[in-house]
Structure 1
Amino acid sequence: MGRKVTLATCSLNQWALDFEGNLQRILESIRIAKEKGARYRLGPELEICGYGCSDHYFESDTILHSFQVLTKLLESPVTSDIICDVGMPVMHKNVRYNCRVIFLNKKILLIRPKMVMANAGNYRELRWFTPWNKSREIEEHFLPRTIQEITGQDTVPFGDAVLATKDTCLGSEICEELWAPNSPHIDMGLDGVEIFTNGSGSHHELRKAHLRVDLVRSTTTKNGGIYLLSNLRGCDSDRLYFDGCSMISINGDIVVQGSQFSLENVEVLTATLDLEDVRSYRAHTSSRCISASRVPPFHRVHVDFSLSSFDDVYTPTSEPIQWKYHTPAEEISLGPACWLWDYLRRSKQGGFLLPLSGGVDSSAVACIVYSMCRLVCQAVDAGNKEVLRDVRQLVGDDMYVPKMPQELCRRLLTTCYMATENSSKETRERAKTLSEQIGSYHMTPNIDTAVRAVIGIFTMVTGKVPQFRVHGGSGPENLALQNVQARIRMVIAYLFAQLSLWSRGLPGGLLVLGSANVDESLRGYLTKYDCSSADINPIGGISKTDLRGFIQYCIDNFQLTALASILSAPPTAELEPLTDGQVSQTDEDDMGMTYDELSVYGKLRKVVKTGPYSMFCKLLLMWKEISPRQVAEKVKHFFRMYSINRHKMTTLTPAYHAECYSPDDNRFDLRPFLYNAAWTWQFRCIDEQVSCLEDCKKGALCEEVD
């Protein structure tokens, strides 16, 4: 009957400005799609140049090279007899657009520009691109001469149109358009478009995957039809990790699920679906039919091509599946690990160096690297030749084959416990035991000599000897003595990162890993230019609460028993003198707030967008167990500390983005770094509200007494 279509979508690990590599991965995905019988292939957003080009989009080179890659795609025999849908920037009438370029057999069918820009949080698309605002309108786009020579076309349709093949109709969306309240698929579906496609560049955040899945599922539930979503995968070039999850849906059911985290550079998903299922699903809903009879039509680009075969009676169709979600702990285990792998193999360094303190945060980073090694070993065992090639290049051994995660970890991870007289035996032993269990190359330098030398310089110049508070020193003395230790650890970390492989007769250097969590960064509970200063930080967007859940996951799934004592110990910086050999300093006492409270503050500040007064009002309802005055003091203390320490965000280590309230420098969080920390007007409003509430409570008590 000619009604069953086989369609392909894919996840690609593209890299900004890697035109050669990006081309090869696109061609590979098309080749696989054709092998699987697909006659239409969808790729992710801006796949030709890579999504993360940022201000390189302003350069004419980026568009020039994108068209050069398109030339290679048009010329390649791999792209014959399959409709190819690729993403790239296009300049039309001197305006830069984020586009889908759809072609078949050396002919460009349509260039479809993005109509709804992503311009919040991590996205700045309006900085580089202009949205196409001419709904249902097309214009003629004049092709570059190099493209004209291949296609024989001087101009092609450019704008908001759909493709009409011999057997069906397809319409494109691009990433953010799926999330918009007036998504193009609504009117396209009413106008008879049966197959919706979305080339996307959607990043990972903890607990976000269900939002994307629900949107795709609800799209085809309400409107009927087939929806293909293609997403980028991997570290494109920055803090974001694009997490795949490409999928295909029909009439409210997911029929194909792509992996969310994987070391595969190319993943192609196909589904065979019956167009008659779409038609019957739509036709039985009278309200939809009435709306469809009134919708203005889209311009149709007619394509002399069929997606279906003439005789397909015995062709089986894809069945609905249940989407499998990762828990937050699994996401932490997999997402940052894949991000680290991409960063390491692309930087071509010899591995990582981690200052391992024996606390939850640095231990979590160590476990993420260990998880990375597990993923690499699994990929090699599964026959992934690209991963094996990258491993051999990193370790400098063309014959090396990783067998066990611990053995690979010893080659790629150096851990360093930098002890002082304020370090406890317990944390030293925890770090040592964990390093043994994950297999890292471990060192334990004592840095007291360096600390005393730096303090000695100050004493020599001023004649003053600073003391810790417990020894009678002032607050400034106490803080300065802590910061000296912290900053020297950063210097030592970089020294060992640059020379430790050399000292072992090995080539290359190491990337220094940071381990400040999102809550500490939000509060500013870190020393500027201490060992929170590193090359990259895999946990900089993850809360302490989620990290503790991840540690428990590692105990249960990786059998890292050393983590049990780390999890039960109170978090401490160990920068003040011990009391009878025991730690007396704890993070939460120092901060004046708990990590759980910090997570609440962070979400209210960033996600709900509250100032001091609004936060106070919301917390009154959330924290009913404490008095309004106590709530007020907590809020004011948070905003004072946040304000005083905001400047530290300007030097924050680039971190894996995992949390919606990440304070990761002022790219993602566009707030000032110099505040009036008194917040006089705002705090006065809080105090007035507290007084009013207390007066009301007193009045109510008086009435009860009367």
Structure 2
Amino acid sequence: MRLVRVGSAALNQTPLDWDSNASNILNAIKEAQEKEVGLLCLPELCITGYGCEDAFFAPETRRMARQILWELLPHTKGIATTFGLPIMHNSLLFNACAFVVDGQVVGIVPKQQLAGNGLHYEPRWFKAWQEGSTDVLQLENQTIPFGDLVFQLGDIRLGFEICEDAWASQRPAAHLANRDVDLILNTSASHFSFSKHKTRKQLVTESSRAFGVGYAYSNLVGNEAGRAVYDGGTLIAANGKLLAAGPRFGFTPHQITHAVLDIDDIRTSKAQLASRQYTPDTKDGIINVDFEVPQAIAESNPLNEAAWEHDAYLHEEEFSRAIALGLYDYARKSRSQGFIVSLSGGADSTAVTCLVYLMIDFALKHKSAEELCKELGIDQPAVLADSPATAITKHILTTAYQATQNSSDATRLAAKTVADCIGSTHYEFDIDPIVKQYTTMIEGGIKRELNWEKDDIALQNIQARVRAPGVWMLANIENKLLLATSNRSEAAVGYATMDGDTCGGISPIAGINKAFLRNWLVWLEKHGPHDVGPIDAVKAVNQLTPTAELRPAEQHQTDEDDLMPYEILDAIENEAIGRKKAPKETLAALLPQYPEYDQLLPPWIARFYTLWCRNQWKRERYAPSFHVDDKNLDPKTWCRFPILSGGYKREIEELLAVVTN
């Protein structure tokens, strides 16, 4: 048997953080060498970081990337590995993978299929390489093969796909299979979204079967650049069988997954592929490398999959872990010493508060309290060494309940119950005198009293806005990051006070809808994450009807009375924004699902489209949000819409005309 040990790495990189990125790469290589890995696959653009945006155009970015590559070469003795970096060739910029073997760059392979949808804007910076083309480039006074290359390392032949290459219909793998490669390394930077890991496993496993190869997939992990969260989850497969799966949502700088592949077994299975045709080997683009991949010893391979990945509550688990990891890295990389939340006792602020608590709990499962405190700038590691998550939460999380005359005892108690349960430093402030001061000032200026009949929106919004300065002040005093608490359903229709509940440096739940959040809180109360358990205190919030509490109590204000049922709002958003349907088409899609609302759906749909257009300016001003599914409304990374538009006026008229007729 010809056995080789192949490794795949997940790295927590940061754009343009040269020393940290190099350190993570170096430590991953060292661990791979210790585990006798012969071939190591690192993530896409791992030297620079994937999310450099327009900094890819800067000559200094490319110069520094080359410098880091050359600094790392001496540490690759006895191993073959990949390094992702941008490469300029013939005045064009390429997203490329340098293949380094035993301390030498033996070739550089550029990406053929660029990701240009959703979160990705690769065609803005990079050019796609043409299949079958090869060239050479000069790098550090060396002539290096460049292009669509395969590498012959002794008796093993391998090729590359770079992330999107594997997801495209015209993928390099088919071409590589005809060139008789034994192994494909996929250097990826694949962001998290719900259930995407399942699709990745299918892709990797089926690729190994369909093309008759061993297939190794790497990935980033953590919050790399601010918005996208990467879940790791490295994979290695052969002959249609998943051999190894790495952990997901890890809090460590790097993780190595490895597996022993039987090259003879791969070739035997390839010989049995009925669809495979013989293609004469022209030797073009084949780089012979004087390196023999070390023989490995047969062993069982680690399928490191957590129990929760097969649970009925997969989305709830994934959401908890993705946002928690995103928050941790955001705090660490922004050098914030924790978070501030304006805790109203409602669903949204409670969800944000609990996610911070889960962040601490998950982090402590990957590192010591001393490490956590050091990374988040807490000056008491010795005191906290053996403390539970609730004790550390007191130092990391500050919550504040800010009451007006319209606030209820129920929400005050709910906020305190949650804060006491998870251990945040909690304050209660009475902001009503400040609200009245603003109201009196304006009344004096306009020479009339404000009233709820004429000034409803103004009287509501001033309460929300007065809450902002106090929590911003706490954030400044404690050097913490203020978390905004608006959700995606509110963002869709502008049901949020700009400079009120939208205030914050990051908006962790702006990418998820209200219906999911309410269900998630019920799950958190009754089940909770597998390794944490339920948070009973959330029951006090789940018993309340969602309300902004900005109108007098006798008006019995609720969110859904102000808008529409959240379930309907989210369904309209899915049709109107997700599927780009016109108002009439949205009505046709929803009537069969909600026949009981046949009379209410038309005005609700008209209201949604009107508010959507009217409030694009708010979405443009939202703090960065985390991406968790393919329905994000963030105009900077996912869903672009003009700030000024016709507002679907004619389309809404057609909708209402159909209903009238």
Same fold (TM over 0.5): yes
Equivalent-residue separation in structure 1 for 2:416 and 2:374 (angstroms): 31
Q: Is the 8 A contact 2:246 2:304 kept in 1?
A: no
Percent identity of equivalent pairs: 30
1:431 aligns with 2:415: yes
Counterpart in 1 of 2:21? 22
Query: Shift in Å at residue 389 of structure 1?
Result: 3.3
Equivalent-residue separation in structure 2 for 1:211 and 1:687 (angstroms): 41
Could you report, residue by residue, the CA deviation over 1:99-152 in whole angstroms, capped at 9, with x for unpaired residues? Answer: 00011133211110011111111111111111112x1121011113xxx3xxxx
1:482 aligns with 2:448: no
Q: Label 1:73 to 1:623 Cα distance change in 2 as closer, same or farther (>3 A).
A: same
Counterpart in 1 of 2:355? 368
1:389 aligns with 2:374: yes
Query: Shift in Å at residue 426 of structure 1?
Result: 0.3
SS of corresponding position for 1:26: helix
Q: Is the 8 A contact 1:245 1:258 kept in 2?
A: yes
1:655 aligns with 2:615: no
Query: Shift in Å at residue 607 of structure 1?
Result: 3.2
SS of corresponding position for 1:139: strand
Q: Label 1:690 to 1:292 Cα distance change in 2 as closer, same or farther (>3 A).
A: farther
1:191 aligns with 2:191: no
SS of corresponding position for 2:499: coil
Counterpart in 2 of 1:72? 71
Counterpart in 2 of 1:515? 485
Query: Shift in Å at residue 203 of structure 1?
Result: 0.9
What amino acid is aligned across from residue 375 of structure 2 in structure 1?
D
Equivalent-residue separation in structure 2 for 1:66 and 1:398 (angstroms): 38
1:354 aligns with 2:337: no
Counterpart in 2 of 1:98? 95
Q: Is the 8 A contact 2:507 2:622 kept in 1?
A: no
Q: Is the 8 A contact 2:575 2:581 kept in 1?
A: yes
Equivalent-residue separation in structure 2 for 1:385 and 1:104 (angstroms): 38
Q: Is the 8 A contact 2:233 2:246 kept in 1?
A: yes
SS of corresponding position for 2:466: helix
1:307 aligns with 2:293: yes
What amino acid is aligned across from residue 598 of structure 1 in structure 2?
L
Equivalent-residue separation in structure 2 for 1:82 and 1:295 (angstroms): 27
Q: Is the 8 A contact 2:370 2:382 kept in 1?
A: no
What amino acid is aligned across from residue 516 of structure 1 in structure 2?
S
- Out of 565-574 and 64-73, give the one that drifted further: 565-574
Q: Is the 8 A contact 1:411 1:440 kept in 2?
A: yes
1:243-262 correspondence runs (5 A): 243-262=231-250
SS of corresponding position for 1:200: coil
Q: Is the 8 A contact 1:603 1:660 kept in 2?
A: no
Q: Is the 8 A contact 1:191 1:298 kept in 2?
A: no
1:574 aligns with 2:574: no
Counterpart in 1 of 2:583? 612
235, 248, 269: which one pairs with 2:223? 235
645, 652, 660: which one pairs with 1:683? 652
What amino acid is aligned across from residue 457 of structure 1 in structure 2?
M
SS of corresponding position for 1:96: strand
Query: Shift in Å at residue 297 of structure 1?
Result: 7.1
Equivalent-residue separation in structure 2 for 1:584 and 1:296 (angstroms): 78
SS of corresponding position for 1:432: helix
Q: Label 1:632 to 1:298 Cα distance change in 2 as closer, same or farther (>3 A).
A: farther
Deviating 4+ runs (over 6 angstroms) = 294-297, 319-323
What amino acid is aligned across from residue 191 of structure 2 in structure 1?
H
1:565 aligns with 2:540: yes
1:408 aligns with 2:392: yes
Q: Is the 8 A contact 1:402 1:408 kept in 2?
A: no
Equivalent-residue separation in structure 2 for 1:322 and 1:521 (angstroms): 35
Counterpart in 2 of 1:329? 316
TM norm structure 2:
0.94
What amino acid is aligned across from residue 203 of structure 2 in structure 1?
L
What amino acid is aligned across from residue 73 of structure 1 in structure 2?
L
- Out of 601-610 and 182-191, give the one that drifted further: 601-610
Q: Is the 8 A contact 1:349 1:394 kept in 2?
A: no
Equivalent-residue separation in structure 2 for 1:428 and 1:466 (angstroms): 27
Could you report, residue by residue, the CA deviation over 1:262-310 in whole angstroms, capped at 9, with x for unpaired residues? Answer: 111110011001012211212123222xx3447987621111222242x
1:437-456 correspondence runs (5 A): 437-456=421-440
Query: Shift in Å at residue 497 of structure 1?
Result: 1.9
SS of corresponding position for 2:105: strand
Counterpart in 1 of 2:137? 141
Equivalent-residue separation in structure 1 for 2:273 and 2:69 (angstroms): 42
Query: Shift in Å at residue 574 of structure 1?
Result: 0.2
523, 537, 560: which one pairs with 1:588? 560
Equivalent-residue separation in structure 1 for 2:43 and 2:34 (angstroms): 20
Equivalent-residue separation in structure 1 for 2:282 and 2:469 (angstroms): 66
Q: Is the 8 A contact 1:168 1:194 kept in 2?
A: yes
120, 126, 130: which one pairs with 2:127? 130
Counterpart in 2 of 1:174? 162
Q: Label 1:255 to 1:303 Cα distance change in 2 as closer, same or farther (>3 A).
A: same
Query: Shift in Å at residue 320 of structure 1?
Result: 6.9
Gapped regions of structure 2 (runs ≥ 5): none
Query: Shift in Å at residue 379 of structure 1?
Result: 2.4
Equivalent-residue separation in structure 2 for 1:185 and 1:245 (angstroms): 21
Counterpart in 1 of 2:606? 636
Counterpart in 1 of 2:503? 533
Counterpart in 2 of 1:701? none
TM norm structure 1:
0.88
Equivalent-residue separation in structure 2 for 1:577 and 1:316 (angstroms): 69
Could you report, residue by residue, the CA deviation over 1:232-273 in whole angstroms, capped at 9, with x for unpaired residues? Answer: 111112211111111111122211111221111110011001
Equivalent-residue separation in structure 2 for 1:315 and 1:635 (angstroms): 62
Structure having the higher Rg: 1
Equivalent-residue separation in structure 1 for 2:420 and 2:56 (angstroms): 47
What amino acid is aligned across from residue 180 of structure 1 in structure 2?
A
1:673 aligns with 2:622: no
Q: Is the 8 A contact 1:102 1:109 kept in 2?
A: yes
Report how many residues are paired. 652
Counterpart in 2 of 1:703? none
SS of corresponding position for 2:345: coil
Equivalent-residue separation in structure 2 for 1:388 and 1:491 (angstroms): 28
Could you report, residue by residue, the CA deviation over 1:320-346 in whole angstroms, capped at 9, with x for unpaired residues? Answer: 787862611111211111111111122
What amino acid is aligned across from residue 561 of structure 1 in structure 2?
D
Query: Shift in Å at residue 612 of structure 1?
Result: 2.6
Q: Is the 8 A contact 2:363 2:372 kept in 1?
A: yes
1:484-503 correspondence runs (5 A): 484-499=462-477, 501=478
Q: Is the 8 A contact 1:379 1:387 kept in 2?
A: no
Q: Is the 8 A contact 1:87 1:100 kept in 2?
A: yes
SS of corresponding position for 1:668: coil
Counterpart in 1 of 2:299? 316
Equivalent-residue separation in structure 2 for 1:458 and 1:12 (angstroms): 54
Equivalent-residue separation in structure 2 for 1:66 and 1:322 (angstroms): 34
Q: Label 1:666 to 1:82 Cα distance change in 2 as closer, same or farther (>3 A).
A: closer
Q: Is the 8 A contact 2:370 2:381 kept in 1?
A: no
Equivalent-residue separation in structure 1 for 2:255 and 2:619 (angstroms): 37
Query: Shift in Å at residue 660 of structure 1?
Result: 1.4
447, 452, 456: which one pairs with 1:463? 447
Gapped regions of structure 1 (runs ≥ 5): 149-153, 502-508, 695-706
SS of corresponding position for 1:286: coil
SS of corresponding position for 1:357: coil
Q: Is the 8 A contact 2:370 2:385 kept in 1?
A: no
SS of corresponding position for 1:418: strand
What amino acid is aligned across from residue 514 of structure 1 in structure 2?
A
What amino acid is aligned across from residue 522 of structure 2 in structure 1?
Q
Equivalent-residue separation in structure 2 for 1:230 and 1:545 (angstroms): 34
What amino acid is aligned across from residue 661 of structure 1 in structure 2?
K
Q: Label 1:611 to 1:209 Cα distance change in 2 as closer, same or farther (>3 A).
A: farther
SS of corresponding position for 1:562: helix
What is the aligned-residue RMSD (CA, Å)?
Answer: 2.1
Query: Shift in Å at residue 614 of structure 1?
Result: 3.2
Q: Label 1:213 to 1:91 Cα distance change in 2 as closer, same or farther (>3 A).
A: same
Query: Shift in Å at residue 36 of structure 1?
Result: 0.9
SS of corresponding position for 1:108: strand
Q: Is the 8 A contact 1:380 1:388 kept in 2?
A: no
